[in-house]
Amino acid sequence: MDRLSTSLLQERPAMERLAVPAERDRARQPGAWAGAARALVREHGVAAALAVASIGSLFLLWYLGTRYQVEFYIRFKNVPTPYAVLQEAATIGLSGNFSTHILTSLRRILAGFGIAVALGVGLGLMVGRYRRVSELVMPAVEVLRPIPAIAWVPMSIMLWPTSETSIVFITFLGAFFPILLDTVHGVRSLDGVLLRAGRCLGAGELQLFRHVILPGVLPHIFTGLAIGMGVAWVSLIAAEMISGQFGIGYYTWEAYSLVNYPAIVLGMITIGVLGLGCSGAIRLAGRMATPWLAYASGAKK
């Protein structure tokens, strides 16, 4: 027993030395977490502050222009004040009719954009991968792509049985071409070494698409989705103004017909907010689908 006690007493300093770093790490852990939290707040806080300053400068310019009735080339004489638009928003928000317009536009944008994503990404992968498919598809695409969405409105009314379907079709056209072209560019700019490595490892064509081509093209796809969403909103608003009976575009055009200036500005702001929300959702989905890009950018820093 004495020999065991002596051995333990001799080993105790060594055990204490081993325990000190662990206790020290535990003591430092709250500080490390606090430092990481401060860095996160500092990074995103600066971005949020700059975003608020950017949007706030627009509202400040609007307020000053209407407050002092500026007429130096740009005329603010008939532009409603921010307070008048706020009153209009409070008035129409109580009726429930405005929410119907918003939901109608969102339903149309999601339908047209969803079809554009399915066809644009699928066809873009085929066009970028296979030369014969490109030679067959791209001439027709280059002929149709310069035609603006608003020029398709009369044709879409004749092609489709209902105005709702024609509006969704025009929204689809606006989003389809940016998604298709960015996907094609992503496939063609993919490093050939990756494809050869996949072949050497025994991957078939479907496996190459799943494990090599699609992950490599995802950043380009989400770039096309962001651009396509913006063009889709432009196309949707134009279609609703011409042939719609509901929707935020129809609401804005009806306000113009009734010379209701606060309602016009309210419609414009609503379009901007909805577009911002849709683009933000796409950027968030892109970050979740391509986490290695965030890791690579963090490693570079």
pLDDT at 9 over 50: no
> Tell me: the pLDDT tens digits for 57-93?
999 999 898 888 888 888 888 899 999 999 988 888 7
The burial of 73, by beta-carbon neighbours within 10 Å (0-12 exposed, 13-18 middle, 19 or more buried), is given as exposed
> Tell me: the pLDDT tens digits for 237-269?
999 988 778 899 999 999 998 889 999 999 999
| pLDDT, position 41 | 67
| pLDDT, position 300 | 54
Q: Which of 36-40, 109-113, 182-186, 195-199 is predicted with the least confidence, judged by mean pLDDT?
A: 36-40
The burial of 278, by beta-carbon neighbours within 10 Å (0-12 exposed, 13-18 middle, 19 or more buried), is given as buried
CATH architecture for residues 81-300: Orthogonal Bundle (1.10)
Task: Provide the residue ranges of all domains of the chain, joining segments of one domain with +.
Answer: 1-79, 81-300
264 phi and psi, to 5 degrees?
-60, -50
Mean of pLDDT over the chain: 83
How far is the C-alpha of 113 from the C-alpha of 120, rounded, in Å?
A: 10
| pLDDT, position 93 | 73
Gyration radius (Cα) of the chain, Å: 29
Q: 125 with 157: CB under 8 angstroms?
A: no
**Mean pLDDT calculated for residue range 154-166:** 89
How far is the C-alpha of 68 from the C-alpha of 76, rounded, in Å?
A: 9
**Mean pLDDT calculated for residue range 125-136:** 93
How far is the C-alpha of 213 from the C-alpha of 223, rounded, in Å?
A: 16
pLDDT at 191 over 50: yes
How much is the pTM? 0.79
Half-sphere exposure of 249 (CA within 13 A, CB side): 22
Categorize the per-residue pLDDT at 149 as very low, low, confident or very high, splitting at 50, 70 and 90. confident
Q: Take residue 179 and report the two structure tokens written for it.
A: 């998604």
pLDDT at 25 over 60: no
